[in-house]
Amino acid sequence: MNSNGRFLGSIHGESRSNVILRKEQYRISDDETKSLEYAQHFIISKLYNSKWVLERACRDHALQVDVDSLKISCGEIKKYLLGVKETTNLAELRGIEGKSAAQYFGEFDQLIPQNKTDFSFTTRNRRPPLDPVNILLSFTYSLLTSECRSALEAVGLDAYVGFFHQNRSGSASLALDLIEELRSVVADRFVLSN
């Protein structure tokens, strides 16, 4: 751990970590029904927080934004929230999450209150991000993922075995699952505040 309590790494011979916890994590990850339950909670939180960011823009910047458009998007996200609870598989849940993200990011440019010539948003892009807003979003998401990965490893969970994100070599799937609910309220709000 560093002086701030962040997990940096470990050197050990015999593993004394909580193997029972990790084995249960692997069992849940291998069972789509159980994974779906966890994934639904991550996405419900993400959609709720995305809707909250849009509602806050209506409240705080009513004279600068198209309140009617934001309220329509909030209504659509609320419908998606209800749909999340009805999903029966991960593919369907990923579809709802994608539609909701498109709705949310469709309003994102309105949330940028100033300096529109240098700092505007048209669509979410990544790998590589193509404009200043997307660069900042990708950067803050990377920082958030790193923090979640460190926290997961510090408590003995495998950050690379997730429930919503597919397990891929080199991808911290569980950390990516965790940041879903934090993206809008931590990373997006930070980008919008600068």
State yes or no: pLDDT of 149 exceeds 70. yes
Question: How far apart (Å, rounded) are the C-alpha atoms in residues 191 and 194?
Answer: 6
pLDDT for res 194? 66
Please say whether the beta carbons of 187 and 137 come within 8 A.
yes
State yes or no: pLDDT of 6 exceeds 50. yes
Confidence band (pLDDT; 50, 70, 90) for 131? confident
First and final C-alpha spacing in the chain: 30
116-192-108 Cα angle (round to 5): 70
State yes or no: pLDDT of 169 exceeds 90. no
The rounded percent of the chain whose pLDDT value lies above 70 is 95
pLDDT for res 147? 92
Please say whether the beta carbons of 168 and 174 come within 8 A.
no
In CATH, the architecture of 28-192 is Up-down Bundle (1.20)
Look at residue 130 and give its three-state secondary structure: coil
Q: Taking the domains of the chain in order of start, what are their residue ranges?
A: 28-192
